[in-house]
Structure 1
Amino acid sequence: MKAPLALVFCVIVGLAAAAPEKTYTNKYDGVNVDEVLTNNRVLGNYLKCLMDKGPCTAEGRELKRLLPDALHSDCSKCTEVQRKNSQKVINYLRANKAGEWKLLLNKYDPQGIYRAKHEGH
């Protein structure tokens, strides 16, 4: 079940390995984000990785590395699929994992800049 581990690229937004080009790689754009979101074990492992509470897969390490850039650039290097999947992940976490979402925001957006931009979504 390694393919679904690419979720959080779409998590939080849907990212993958960075390339020096204008967009992130589309290597993980085919991942079924819905399957990842509904698999508590896989989603939990991603969240632990992002919060430095557990080990990271290679995909998790890439996500963790790229997430700050994606947040600060408003996903400007994301593909359209990554933007769509990122919003899906954000909405899911807000609605179903509010505590974890708050922890992620506190870690990756401590000044509330991202929150302020996206509260209406």
Structure 2
Amino acid sequence: MARLNYIIILISIASCVLAEELYNDQYDHIDVNNILNNDKLRDQYFNCYMETEPCLTADAKFFKDISSEAIQTKCKRCTEKQKEIIDAVADWYTQNKPDRWQKVIAKSLEDMKKKNADQ
């Protein structure tokens, strides 16, 4: 019995160590379709992410900060709603602005290379 308890404790510790903390869900309520269907808003978010203009809202900055990692890790740390948001963005851009989507992917790769170099 003691051996079984020991194994359960080891598995629990390993699970805690391996578990990734999810991104904050504070902005999970945003209406991504409203943003994608509004040229001005969509351009503001895109330019924020590309760092060509300042981020005008806290949610834009939040998504800018997590997007590169989320894209490159297939949303490993995303909440379910964030996965839906990233999927909606990817679908919209690949269908409507594939050149911009390629820029997003290129920037996400560049950002992750920088992040990994800093660690």
Under TM normalisation by the shorter chain, which class is it? 0.5 to 0.7
Which position in structure 1 is the counterpart of 2:8?
none
How far did residue 83 of structure 1 move?
0.9
Match of 1:18 in 2: none
TM-score for the superposition, normalised by structure 1: 0.65
Aligned residue number for residue 80 of structure 2: 80
Q: Distance in 2 between matches of 1:87 and 1:48?
A: 19
Runs of 5+ unmatched residues, structure 1: 1-20, 111-121
Question: C-alpha deviations, 1:92-121, integer Å up to 9, x for none?
Answer: 0100111211111121125xxxxxxxxxxx
Q: Helix, strand or coil for the counterpart of 1:77?
A: coil
1:73-107 Cα deviation digits (max 9, x unpaired):
32111111111221111000100111211111121
Question: RCO (CA 8 Å, sep 6+): is it higher in 1 or 2?
Answer: 1
Q: Which residue of 1 aligns with 2:98?
A: 98
In the other structure, the counterpart of 1:41 is: 40
- Aligned partner of 1:66 in structure 2 is 66
Residues 42-82 of structure 1 deviation map (CA, whole Å, 9 limit, x = unaligned): 01011111112111133222222222222333211111111
How many residues are paired up? Answer: 90
Q: Which runs of 5+ in 2 are unaligned?
A: 1-19, 111-119
1:69 aligns to what SS in structure 2?
Answer: helix
Q: Scaled by the length of structure 2, what TM-score is found?
A: 0.66
Moved over 4 A (4+): none
Q: 1:72 to 1:105 in 2, by over 3 A?
A: closer
Inter-partner Cα distance in structure 2 for 1:64 and 1:101: 14
* Percent identity between the two aligned chains: 28
CA distance in 2, matches of 1:84, 1:108: 18
Which residue of 2 is the match for residue 31 of structure 1? 30
SS of 1:109's equivalent in the other structure is: helix
CA RMSD between the two structures: 1.7
